[in-house]
Structure 1
C-alpha cells in the first residue's frame, strides 16, 4: 500500500511544462497591414513565412516575419484578408482582417469605384497639404516607422497579458486534484478498516 502511494505521488509530482499558446494579431499601420506572430511564453516567430489569402482561398501574396516576429503587407484588393503562418508542431497562426478595414487602409470605401475620381483629387491635394504643414512625405514615413517601432513592445505585452495563464487558477486546479486523491485514499482506508473488523 505504501509503495503504491509513493508511486502515485511520484506520478503526480509537478513537472516543468512547456505549454504555450500562439499569439497572433494584425492591425492597420498606415498604408500597410502589420502583424505579429509568436508564443505566449515570449518567444516570437522569426523568419516565418506568412501566406495571405482571401475568403475563397485565392492567394493574395506572402510576407516574412522579422527577428521580432512582425511582418508587413501592403494590400491591393478590397477583400477580407486571411493571414496564415505554420509554426510547426501543430501550431498554426491564423489572423483575419475584414474587407472594410482593408478599404480604410487603402483609403477607399467598399463602394470606391464610384468615388475614384474624388479619391484621385484627394491624393493629388495631399502633397500640397503636407508641404503646407511643414512635413514632407519622407518625414511622415519616418514618423510612422518610429511610432510603429515604439508601439511594438506595448502590443506584445498586451497580447501576452491577454493570453497568460492565471497562476492562481493553476494552483487551485492542483489543489482540487490533491484533494480528490486524499478523499480517495481516505475512503479506501475506511473500507480496509471496515473489512478487517
Structure 2
C-alpha cells in the first residue's frame, strides 16, 4: 500500500518546464546600431517590428528584424535609444544603448569629455575606403553572431537558479531515502 502511495505521489509531481528568456541586445555597427531579438533556447524572432524610443519616451523610429532575428537602425540624434518589441505571449524585448555610445556612432563628441584625454591619432583603418570599412564591418558582424548566441545559451543553461535547483533535488531524494529507511527500521 505504501509503495502504491509513493508511486502515485511521484506521478503527481509537476514535470520540469522548458522555460526560456527573451534575448535582446544592441551594439555599435559602423554608423548604425545592430541588434538581435529572440529566445534563450535559440529560437530567434524573424520579421518582428522593433520600435525605437528616445529618453523622453518619444518614438524615434521603427525597424524590422531579418530572418535570423537581427536588425539595423541608423540613429539621427545622440540620445539614448531604447528598443522594444512584443514577441507575444507576454514576452517583451527591451534594451537600451546609452547616449554616449550613440554619440560615438554619429561622430559627435560626448557632452562631458574628459579634459585630460590624450590627442587622438589616426584611427585604425583610416586609409580604407568607406566600402572597404563597410565590408569589414559586415564580415565581423557575421562572424560574431554565432558567438553571441552561444554565450546567451550558455548563460541560460548554467545560471545559479539551475545549480541550486539541482542541489535541492539531490537533498530531497536523500531526505526521502532516509525517511523510508527510518520507517522500515521502526516497523521491522
Q: Report the TM-score range of the alignment, normalised by the length of the smaller protein.
A: 0.7 to 0.9
Q: Which residue of 1 aligns with 2:155?
A: 162
1:99 aligns to 2:99 (yes or no): yes
Query: How far 1:137 sits from its partner (Å)?
Result: 2.0
Which of 1 and 2 has greater Rg?
A: 1
Greater Cα shift, 83-92 or 137-146? 137-146
Instruction: Quote the residue 1:69 is aligned against.
Output: 69
- The superposition leaves residues 112-170 of structure 1 with CA deviations (integer Å, 9 ceiling, x where unpaired) of 9xxxxxxxxxxxxxxxx96xx3x332222222212211221112222222232356554
Deviation at 1:8, TM superposition (A): 0.8
Q: Find the counterpart in structure 1 of residue 12 from structure 2.
A: 11
Q: RMSD across aligned C-alpha pairs, in angstroms?
A: 2.8
| Structure 2 unaligned residues grouped into runs of 5+ | 113-124
Give the TM-score taking structure 2 as reference length.
0.78
TM-score by length of 1: 0.75
Q: Is 1:50–1:62's contact at 8 Å kept on the other side of the alignment?
A: yes
> C-alpha distance in 1, partners of 2:135/2:91?
35
Report the secondary structure of 1:72's partner residue.
strand
For the residues of structure 1 that align with 2:174 and 2:54, how far apart are their CA atoms?
A: 51
1:54-93 per-residue CA deviation (whole Å, 9 max, x = no partner) reads 1221101111111111111101111111111111111111
List structure 1 runs of 4+ shifted beyond 6 angstroms.
Answer: none
2:81 matched to which residue of 1? 81
C-alpha displacement of 1:171: 3.0
**Corresponding pairs, count:** 172
Higher helix share: 1
Give secondary structure in 2 for the equivalent of 1:33.
strand
Gaps of 5+ in 1: 113-128
Whether the aligned pair in 2 keeps the contact of 1:79 and 1:102 (CA below 8 Å) is yes
